[in-house]
Amino acid sequence: MNTDDLRKVPTPSVQQADNTNSTENSSPAESAEDSNKAKRSTGFISKFWPNRSTITVSFMEDLSDELKYRVERVIRRWEPHMSLAMEFVEGRQANIRISLNGMQNRSELGNNALYIPADIPTLTLATPSDHPSFEPDLLHEFGHALGLNHEHQHPDANIPWDMDRTYRYFKERFGWDENDVNSQIFEVHYDADVFRGSYDKKSIMHYQVPNEITLGDWEVGVNTTISEQDKINLRKIYPSN
């Protein structure tokens, strides 16, 4: 697989993953003709930022100081667990450019952000700032911005999917077709470029997996915080020594 094609990763809101009636923030994955659709596992080494580097972050919209501070505070929850530093700046030349008016929750994968034109955001949220899932969704998307991938696609996850029910679940709630589900849910990668930390059901990068879409008694709830294993993995990816 050519990891240069790893780009946009739409993410259902962590709260909406179990909300049958919700359509807000539930845009499907990129269209079928989008050759940049990302495929996830634990992390792709070529997409990590240089160790000990400083990543600049800015906002695409004119937000209130209070909201800017809140977003920065949430994002900085990642910072103690890695050697990267984050600097919040003004303007559109930042490495990571955030829009809170997106049509979907998505982020460029790691350093792919460097190849996106300056007038286009590299991370977008559709979740309203007053929604309970706003901060967990932001944490998840910024994990992608750091180069982390979907935990449910970890090579060691071994999730006993009921495929028919899973296709139906994501179609009814998020409008995803089978290709979207294959790419964002089922596909697992064993590439040499893949970083494999220990599989973690509590990871902020793990989608909710309701019991109704698996075989037997297997589920993952709504993860809303950076897990201890997330912290361990990040320290291995961006070590301080």
* pLDDT, average across residues 65-78: 98
Helices (H), 105-205: 134-145, 163-174, 178-181
Backbone angles phi, psi at 211, to 5 degrees: -55, -30
* Whether 239 contacts 51, CB under 8 Å: yes
pTM of the model: 0.84
Which of 38-47, 73-82, 91-100, 168-177 is predicted least confidently?
38-47
In a domain, 214, yes or no: yes
**Is pLDDT at 13 greater than 80 in this prediction?**
no
The pLDDT of residue 25 is: 32
The pLDDT of residue 191 is: 76
* pLDDT, average across residues 66-93: 97
CA geometry: angle 199, 8, 207, nearest 5 deg:
35
In a domain, 165, yes or no: yes
Residue 4's contacts (CB-CB under 8 Å, 6 or more residues apart) are none
Running DSSP on this structure, what letter comes out for residue 233?
H
In a domain, 31, yes or no: no
- From residue 7, how far is each of 64, 67, 159, 167 by CA, in Å? 29, 27, 25, 23
Paired sense of beta strands 123-124 and 96-99, if any: parallel
The pLDDT of residue 12 is: 63
Paired sense of beta strands 106-107 and 54-59, if any: unpaired
Token digits of residue 191: 């590439």
Please write the tens of the pLDDT for every residue from 132-149.
999 999 999 999 999 999
**Is pLDDT at 1 greater than 90 in this prediction?**
no
In a domain, 24, yes or no: no
CA–CA separation, 230 and 118 (whole Å): 30
Q: How far, rounded to the nearest angstrom, does the alpha carbon of residue 182 sit from its chain's CA centroid?
A: 16
List, as one string, the DSSP characters of 3-19.
Answer: GGG--------TTGGG-
229: enclosing H helix or E strand: helix 228-237
Q: Which percentage of the chain shows pLDDT scores above 70?
A: 83
* Mean per-residue pLDDT of the chain: 85
* pLDDT, average across residues 36-62: 82
CA–CA separation, 167 and 158 (whole Å): 18
| Residue 138: how many other CB atoms lie within 10 Å | 23
Please write the tens of the pLDDT for every residue from 104-128.
999 999 999 999 999 999 999 999 9
The enclosing domain of 193 has a CATH number of 3.40.390.10
Token digits of residue 3: 């990891």
Q: How confident is the model at residue 41 (pLDDT cuts 50, 70, 90)?
A: very low
The pLDDT of residue 16 is: 41
**Is pLDDT at 205 greater than 90 in this prediction?**
yes
In a domain, 161, yes or no: yes
Please write the tens of the pLDDT for every residue from 154-171.
989 999 999 999 999 999
In a domain, 2, yes or no: no
In a domain, 88, yes or no: yes
* pLDDT, average across residues 25-37: 31
Please write the tens of the pLDDT for every residue from 189-201.
777 778 888 899 9
The pLDDT of residue 241 is: 81
Query: Where is pLDDT greater, at 25 or 131?
Result: 131
Note down the domain range covering 194.
40-237
**Is pLDDT at 14 greater than 70 in this prediction?**
no
- Domain count across the chain: 1
* pLDDT, average across residues 83-100: 96
In a domain, 157, yes or no: yes
CA–CA separation, 8 and 230 (whole Å): 21
